[in-house]
Amino acid sequence: MSQFPDSPKQSASPAVRFFSGENIPLEMHKVRVVQKLNLPPVEERLAAIRRAGFNTFLLTTREVYLDMLTDSGTNAMSDMQMGAMMQADDAYAGSQSFERMRLAIEEVFGKRFVLPAHQGRAAENIICRTYVKPGDLLPMNYHFTTTLAHIELNGGKIAELLHDEALQISSSNPFKGNMDIAKLRHAITTHGVQNVPLIRMEASTNLIGGQPFSLANLREVAAVAKEHNIPLVLDASLIGENAWFIKQREPEFQQASVADILREMCAQADIVYFSSRKVSSSRGGAICTNWPEIFEKMKALIPLFEGFLTYGGMSMREIEAMAVGLRETTDETVINQSPMFIRYLVERLQAHGIPVVTPAGGLGCHVDAMSFLPHIPQKEYPAGALAAAFYLISGVRGMERGTISSTRDQHGHDILADVELLRLAFPRRVFTLSQTKYVEDRLHWLHTQRQLIGGLRFVEEPPVLRFFMGRLEAVSDWPEKLMQAFRRDFGDSL
């Protein structure tokens, strides 16, 4: 498939078309509970981003207008989820809430055995402690930050096996998250099958811009895994969106329901784990499988690290919300919400000549900081600088996904990231179209002022996952200059 795949005309989904021909993301829900927002003036935002060490993770929500840091734990819950939370069966062991969640997982993912974990990285801890030993290699389409950290903590290494085109920012490839099968075979042969404990596929590959893989590719990966008797692990944290993209973009599945696609995806994997903070608009996470021996292998670690086998660190209310949320993931009008808003913003930014990852993916709109700020060298963290600058001029909090999110090599040099992205996440059903247009407007202005933005350098750098708590400073007085330009052009506007 070469054509850009998401136009509603090609879609088998019952999308509403507009007389104007515009691609407007139409909400199939109404807002019944609201939360008041605050937009502090630009002077306060400058003080706030300084206090935060130019790291948007260290801002407080009081200082933020639109929180586009992540969709993790911030998706809107449905009335059905909130209602279900009231039925929580609080019990340390044998809770009926857990049984309802287990049944939901069996129905949606087709997996019978469920190990609860308090969030996605906790599931990764259990899986990596069980399977990864020093010297092991884990082939995957692409890493996620917490996954890589857990693999390295256990002495393993990763091989990222995306096909060569996947890291091109601007592309019409509908499945940039696909794994290159030839590279997979090569990695297994050269490293030795005995040193490859797992093969990992990540749905809607987060760090390359929420890009999906195709079911055809997943089936091929599964066939290679089976041939070598290596368990295939599916990170299903963003599986709903990946399933929706499969329905939109893979001809074989145009008439299939999202529920069928989800089950078919999970059927390929021996182990499915997920951050429920993302997939089901609730909180928590889990590992699931149909293999009793895999379940038994990891079972003992759950009470040690998470909690008893029927709660795994989650409250029963979370578990009830997760059961309902998982079923809602099969509803196309729920899971298409983020991708449709993302596509809208991507198209609008493209119209202004702003470099963004295409095709539009899941999770968020990803701005290419390397070409937005070609004058900032990668060692001065262009994506981090763009995230800080964008917060300063808009109050919108995005997330750096570039070299700050990477690590250093054994000589202390930054391992430069493949891509430098500013991620503007769209938590499901949270933001309105006018708020999306505000993001477009402010980014458009910032693009016209991009020469004013300068780099960053670390002043405090934690050794692991430094992007969470690291503090940086501006390499010059560019933040003041940018603020003055804002005042010049916007007067006393917030």
Residues in 56-75 that interact with ligand F0G by CB under 6 A: 70, 72
Determine if the peptide bond prior to 355 is cis (ω within 30°): no
Cα of 56 vs its chain's centroid, Å: 17
Nearer to ligand F0G by Cβ, of 277 and 317: the residue is 277
Closest CA to 361 of 473, 478, 207: 207
Determine the Cα–Cα distance for residues 440 and 8; give it in Å rounded to an integer: 22
Nearer to ligand F0G by Cβ, of 212 and 285: the residue is 285
Tell me if 210 contacts ligand F0G by CB under 6 A: no
Strands, DSSP E only, in 256-308? 271-275, 285-289
> What minimum distance in Å lies between the beta carbon of 126 and ligand F0G?
12
The binding track of 161-180 with respect to ligand F0G, each residue x by CB under 6 A or -, is --------------------
Nearer to ligand F0G by Cβ, of 121 and 486: the residue is 121
Binding residues for ligand F0G, rule CB under 6 A, total 16
Q: Decide if 365 contacts 424 (C-beta within 8 A).
A: yes
Determine the Cα–Cα distance for residues 29 and 94; give it in Å rounded to an integer: 35
Determine the Cα–Cα distance for residues 390 and 65; give it in Å rounded to an integer: 12
Among 109, 113, 131, 144, indicate the residue that binds ligand F0G (CB under 6 A): 144
Nearer to ligand F0G by Cβ, of 146 and 168: the residue is 146
Nearer to ligand F0G by Cβ, of 277 and 397: the residue is 277
> What minimum distance in Å lies between the beta carbon of 267 and ligand F0G?
20
CA-derived radius of gyration, the chain? 22
Of the residues 74, 145, 333, 407, only one is catalytic, namely 145
Determine the Cα–Cα distance for residues 378 and 125; give it in Å rounded to an integer: 31
- CA separation, residue 29 to residues 25, 26, 129 (Å): 12, 9, 42
Determine the Cα–Cα distance for residues 312 and 286; give it in Å rounded to an integer: 8
Would you call 467 a catalytic residue per the annotation?
yes
Among 100, 102, 121, 200, indicate the residue that binds ligand F0G (CB under 6 A): 121
Tell me if 146 contacts ligand F0G by CB under 6 A: yes
Would you call 289 a catalytic residue per the annotation?
no
Of the residues 401, 423, 442, 466, only one is catalytic, namely 401
Of the residues 235, 245, 270, 330, only one is catalytic, namely 235
Both tokens of 264, joined, read 């078919």
Determine the Cα–Cα distance for residues 87 and 224; give it in Å rounded to an integer: 44
Would you call 487 a catalytic residue per the annotation?
no
Both tokens of 387, joined, read 């995230």
Among 63, 67, 180, 202, indicate the residue that binds ligand F0G (CB under 6 A): 202
Partner residues linked to 471 by β-bridges: 460
Nearer to ligand F0G by Cβ, of 116 and 120: the residue is 120
- In angstroms, the first-to-last Cα distance of the chain is 45
Would you call 226 a catalytic residue per the annotation?
no
Tell me if 11 contacts ligand F0G by CB under 6 A: no
Tell me if 436 contacts ligand F0G by CB under 6 A: no
Task: Decide: helix, strand or coil at residue 15.
Answer: coil
> What minimum distance in Å lies between the beta carbon of 187 and ligand F0G?
21
Binding footprint of ligand F0G on the chain (CB under 6 A):
70, 72, 119-121, 144, 146, 202, 206, 235, 237-238, 275, 277-278, 285
Would you please indicate which residues are annotated as catalytic (active-site) residues?
92, 144-145, 235, 278, 401, 467
